[in-house]
Structure 1
Amino acid sequence: MRGSSSRHHHHHHNHLLLPLLRLLSTGTTATPSLPKLKNICYRHRSRALKEARSALTEYLHSTRSLPFSFSDHIASNSPYSLSLLLSQVPSLSSSPPSLFPRLLRTHLSYRPVNEFDFLLESIGLSPTPPSPLGPFLSDHPLLLSSLSDLLRFGFPWTRLGLLYPSLHHAASSAILPKLHSFEALGFARLSVIALSLCFPSLLLLLPRHDATHRLLLRDLKAALVDHGLADSVVSDDVDAHLDVCRKIKLFYDLGSEVGTMGEVMGRNKKVFLQAEEGLIERRLKYFLNLGMGKAEVGRFLLANAELLLELDLDSPRFVMPEYLLRVGMGEADAAELVKKCPYAMGVNVLGNLPGTLRAMDVHGWFLERVVGDGGVRFLSAEFVSSSLSSAGDEAEDEYSAGVERLRAVRKQKHYYLDPKLEFLLGIGFGKNKTTSRIAGLINSTKDQLQERFDCLLEMGIEYPMLCRMINASPKLLNNCPESLHKKVNYLCNVLGYPLEYLNKFPSFLCFDLENRTKPRYRIINWLKEKGLLQKPFAPATVLANSEKRFITQLFSIHPAAPKQWLECFSSRYDSNGCQRNLFAHRPLGSSETES
């Protein structure tokens, strides 16, 4: 009976826990803006917050029987929840500050707070939406025991949010032994805290993860202990050690293989001690965008640590195709690229080189040159800038003239136009007249354009093909991702055309699906059903013609077809402003339709 009750309690606990774990798995820790304390005079708000912290500490410790250290940490590190509590005490508005302590104690006596909301905020997690685990921390003694053990071990209270989801999977009695086992391997206590916060799965103690954990610990021990990376961190602050561990984790997050990186990381302390995390991430992604394999990119960059730290992606400018000629491409191949990809020619910055090479589908060739002996010099500022030529200046002048024309004619402010130009240059278009022309035809922000571009890539369109499509039909980027999905789905799954057909007819994505594409194909399919259509029509033939020419085309199939189109299939609106029924099927009258 007791076992059944225990199982029921465990099941109920997990049921309550799932929504919270889903919330925490998103990784959001952003705290919303503090509630406005309109019920308290602005002169007394600071005093009110101070008194609220004291009252909450006393309430949690004396009334709710939490350890004083817990109560103090929770009350001192939850400004949002504390402000929300104050905003719900209307009597403060008409009372002098001297009465604040008594009013707050009375309020807490009759209106218990949701303690989990305060806890989550205090350990670094977002306090919204409200926790689904119930209002009282005392209902979760195993969690409190785990938090107490971590706090005694030396974990900073405000960083425990990084571990919080893992605490619900690990047995509280096993956390301290696990942490001490890390120390037995040679890790200093600060390193144990940092690696636990950065790699919470190390505390999960799940058998199926043992092999992965052993490999990860072997890497961490080789880097932090055997090669002295942890001893090289000059600060005794946990955050300094956590910063190093986050940089290590970044390599694994971007594809490095666990169990193979420890020694090479340990030999390159400078990267983890001096380079900013954002810089490391940008360098790793740079070579991933060049096409380097995920398992190789980390080792390659650490083997070229000076490049990782000193590579300037913002200032050096190259010009195509001169840059490729200097790298070693033959003149005939370069000339073919100029003819095939004119939109990628001209000047660009080194940071956009992966996009330019992918747009021309030569990134694999280039990567082989870079990975080869001495190839890293191709990315040096001196080598890159040596490709600049008068031809590049001419293309850039045409680009600048086109941009100025856009600003003058369309009155496009720089804060509307510049992000679109940055997007185009980022995906591989050079500074040339084509790029400035396209910028005038596309709408939306840089992030929205990038989202649409990535959406098409995820659907299976090859990078070079997509750039050719944008060059031919820039307005396809004016579709939101949902619209792009619907149009591609209609082309491939309804009309039965392969995705590659968009390379021939990218304008398919520019036409309105509901008001042009579907209505026209409804009458085409209806004519097929009636046996009146002798030959199939490709999408370019069906959609690219104007309404007048489409009607003429229908007339050539059957003299009564235009009337059928206008009355039953067209998406035009009637005289009352109501859209016609697109699904109506009226049979051809015998006197009108028989040939």
Structure 2
Amino acid sequence: MCLSVCVHTSSIETRDEEEEGTEVNTMSLIRNPRSPTSLLNWVSHKVSTFKKPQPPINPRRSLSSTATTSKLPRNEIRKLTQLAMFDYFYNNRGLQFLIAESMSKNAPLFNDTLLNKLHNDSHSYSASCGDELIRSITKFLLYHPVNEFEPFFESLGLKPSEFSPLVPCDKMFLNEDAFLLENYHVFWNYGIGREKMGKIFKEAREVFGYESGVLASKIESLERLGFGKVFVSKVIVCTPRVLIGETNLEMVSVIDMIGSDWVLENLSEGGSYDWRCIHRCLAFLRELCGDDESELLELIKNRPGLVLEESGEWTMILAGFQTKLGCSRSELALKLPQSSSQEVGKCVSNLRHCFLFLRGIKMEAYEIGKVFRNHSHWLGVSRLKHTSTFLNTLKGGKKRLCQVIQENPEEMKKWTMGLRVTPLPGTGVVDVVGSKAMKTQFLKELGYEEKEMEKALRCFRGRGSELRERFEFLKSLGLSEGEAKEMVKASPDVLTQASDVLEAKVDYLVNELGYPLSTLVAFPSCLKYTLERMKVRFAMYYWLRERGKADGKLAISTILVYSDKSFVTRFVNRHPDGHKYFEELKKSASL
């Protein structure tokens, strides 16, 4: 009986050798049983829990037929996918361990795309089919090889929109580009991580095509200049183009001027720098400081953004802007941003916005130069509201605004973004009454009856003199008085805009796009849209038309009236690259 129990027990142990959680040592229990009863109880338990062996899994079976009683969590599915990808790249494709591991773990978008090809609903995998998932992915990759450059570039930290143009058309496997992998390992062994390599590849792609030994010699040449490994690796990441061509003499000159410690401390690995521009900016600042090295170093130490923000380009633009407004070279040093936290680019933007505002209210050039020479230190810090806001809220015309600013330029501090603008003090009740009388008279000339006057006064915002001035401008475009009246009655918002704004919009639609004036009469509401919106929409429309994705003749209303979301659905999505081009148009228009 003991023999039969042993045979029976051995058989059970063989069948259950893959079950998790079996910790009973069968042979030990049989040879040294505590008691016959304990052995029999153990055998009874094993027999009662014995499961029939499952038939072998058919690898050709569709993944969708897998049982879904206990679903795998998403993170577990991703781990299994990474294991399958690593197994394929390392064991089947023969890639080096470092490359295979990086591509499997750091390309989540590629892995998710692959998983979706196998099954539409990744959450439907049951907890018992993890091994099947791995085998299915491996089998799929064996019969459907993927372009290995895509997960490789994604593992370097590049987005699909960034690496799509970089994927070679004539290669599919990484082993076909031996220099790429060799230079990858040169950077890795030098201490430059994979995500930093993605930035290098994006800015200096040629580096990864160097033949054997070339990249290493380039790096060694930088070290021979007297720089340490930490400094060289950071310079390579921040300015990858130092590895292209001859030794960058401008970089050496800049470092000799301000010291490698300062460069190492202030360079940002997330930024990109041009040593030629930095050198030019430093030379300019040295002239401003009168060749006083200590003063120059103190200036750079307190405000590193002067030379590092856009490689000093914004500083040069600011200096040129101030020079055109009448500042002398000796005054320019005082016009530079005084705080290290103040961005030079934002300072230029604020000054430009203020300049356009002063030009918009017809201030004389010499008066604008006077304002900037004396007050640019705070005008560069604050951003003024838009011109239309001033004219509508301050309740003053352009001449009145010019007079207020000339008398006290610091009054503009009250007109910056974030502050509530209060109307300018009136010149008397007589003016208010007179303005309303002029507005009423103007509306009567448009054809409004007395019973319609109250509603019309609310629709036509602005002073009576301003409304008449803009109405006369419409007539000066070539419209008859009847056509002009028809336009403003159909869309009163037309007259709420300044004449120069209307002129710019009409010039764009009529002279640049070629629409007749009759189009504006039929659809005057088109003039209420911003010029930026017009340019973006029509540029997108003509781009689609050139590619045969839009009709040759569309009305202005068809292009302008839709919201951005509807415009994308109806037009932009007609072309695969439409969304990318549309975003570029909006970005360039905002700049």
Q: TM-score, normalising length from structure 2?
A: 0.46
Query: Which one has the largest radius of gyration?
Result: 2
Greater relative contact order (Cα < 8 A, sep 6+): 1
Q: What's the TM-score, normalizing by structure 1?
A: 0.46
